Structure 1
Amino acid sequence: RLLPAFGVGNSRAPEWEATSLNTKGRGRRTNEGLEIISKLWSEGSVDFDGEYYRYRSASIEPKPVQKNMPLWIGGSSDAAIRRTARFGTGWQAAFEAPKEIRAIIDAIKAALVKEGRQIAEDHYGAAFAYRFGSWSDPSVARASKFYRERLGRDPQATFVVGDGNDMLARIADYANAGVSKFILRPIGTGDKDILNQTRLLIDQVLPGLKGLNRVN
């Protein structure tokens, strides 16, 4: 199953410096790319004359079997909200805490009204990193340092470190804010540790999700 998700990326990412590219304009560039992709997926021949991209008689084959391909958008800025309303069939949060989510979803819904579009109620997603263990675990310390330096955010607000009940409580908080799709990223060191964290999630969290997998 293919579920494409698009965002403008992190302005602090080292790839920008490594490639000598300016982060300015990446939102407009993304908008043009999304418009082109949408047209290529549905039209036989595409002409496009934008600020960043220009195409004449462009096409792709074979086209998607689905007539309306899923296209999820990430980001929480005003521009990302408008982008979601214009192009998205779903919205995927990146690092936003539950208390931030409700206002973003409400803003997306208001923007959708202006666009004359709709996004299904169960097409709003969230993500968080988790660890079965304690905050003193070396892997958590490393991930926290990276999170602060790379993203400029507080890991205490978004990481979930503890046991299965802590994970379920965070999922419930997101669900109460309007989220029904989740990406959970294990915090670990090496394949064996990450696999163990994934198994703990399956054993201790999935059985407790009954009743939460619904639109709130």
Structure 2
Amino acid sequence: MSSEPEFGVMLSTFGDHAYPAAFRRVAATAEREGFDAVWAGDHVSFPAAIPDDYPFSRSGESPFHVGLDTYDVFGVLSHLAAVTDEIDLGTNTCIVPYRHPVVLARNALTLEQLSDGRFDFGVAPGWLRTEFEVLDVPFEERGSRTDEFLRLLDRVREEGEVSFDGPHHSFRTTGFHPVPESGRPKVWIGGKSGAAFRRVAEFGDGWTIFWDHPDDIAASRERILNAWRDYDRTGEPEIAVVRAVHVGADAERDTLLTGPADDVVADVEAYVDAGVTRVVLDFYTTDIDEQVEQVERFAREVTPSF
């Protein structure tokens, strides 16, 4: 093993298993068991028409549909900030173009304050074209709008009072107080494009990805490090992978992070050797009891090896 990884838990804010008591229970379990973070995804609304180009499945078929219960990620994490004490709370990932940049900056700064500096701000341009249509945001502008926001956020965190003239939004001097501590909140960039890797180097503290194999992460990390050096960044970026986990002999050993604890430990070691600094648990089940049991089992049987 090259270093000691952190561990997190992915909280679902969509579906029949997404409800306030479940959010509190999963977050409390993760904190009690010594996990470093709880992260949650971001959608504003699921349209009736969802194209088959979901980027995190081989078939492109999306797990989402128009009838899903859907909770606002900033509302959920603000709620959890009041019922947790130490665990980091993060968006993975907030879709930047969905919101006006001033509103989004205020959301992030507020959550940073409400959590006493525990907010992980994961951001990405988004993929669900029809959701952009619902929100009346041009899908083709999602990349440039993400860059615009990240440039604004850099200034907001340093200056507090900012005037801005960007390709999509311009405004006279306005305040963004209270300004967080230097370098806060930590910014994680999602995505696998060259533009995403450039954003990690230009604006980010880390990179986050779903499901990738250790070999793929190692290759992506090399590209990120090349960009990192181009921007004269010091140190190295953090890297998080979100992956479904099932610890137990009852699981078929047909994918990484499933099966007996020793096998899962070996898989985590492979991710660490590839450059991963945080492994975030997702789940094969929507049953909250089973999710909690997996968090507890992982803490008992896997994390002590690190």
Q: TM-score, normalised by structure 1?
A: 0.77
Residues 84-140 of structure 1 show CA distances to partners (whole Å, capped at 9, x for unaligned) of 11101222223321111111111111112221223436x22222111234359xxxx
More strand as a share of residues: 2
Distance 2:130 2:259 in 1: 31
What percentage of aligned pairs have identical amino acids? 28
* SS at structure 2 position matched to 1:127: strand
Q: Secondary structure, in 3 states, of the residue corresponding to 1:207?
A: helix
- Structure 1 unaligned regions, length at least 5: 137-155, 210-216
The amino acid across from 2:251 in the alignment is S
Matches within 5 A, 1:1-216: 1-9=118-126, 11-12=127-128, 15-16=131-132, 18-19=134-135, 21-64=137-180, 66-69=181-184, 70-120=186-236, 123-132=238-247, 133-135=250-252, 160-209=257-306
Bigger relative CO (Cα 8 Å, ≥ 6 apart): 2
- Displacement, 1:166? 2.7
Task: Check 1:57–1:17 CA distance in 2 against 1; reply closer, same or farther (3 A cut).
Answer: closer
Alpha-carbon distance in structure 2 between the residues aligned to 1:22 and 1:119: 36
3-state SS, counterpart of residue 71 of structure 1:
strand
CA distance in 1, matches of 2:303, 2:129: 33
CA distance in 1, matches of 2:286, 2:164: 46
Deviation readout 1:161-210 (Å, 9 max, x if unpaired): 3222232122111111111222111322321111111111111111222x
**What is the CA-CA distance between 1:12 and the residue it aligns to?**
4.1
Contact 2:239 2:276 in 1 (8 A): yes
Higher helix share: 1
Alpha-carbon distance change, 169 to 16 in structure 1, aligned in 2, over 3 angstroms: farther
Q: For structure 2, which runs of at least 5 residues remain unmatched after alignment?
A: 1-117
Distance 1:125 1:195 in 2: 21
Distance 2:133 2:149 in 1: 22
Deviation for aligned residue 1:67:
1.0
- Do the aligned partners of 2:191 and 2:209 also contact (CA within 8 Å) in 1? yes
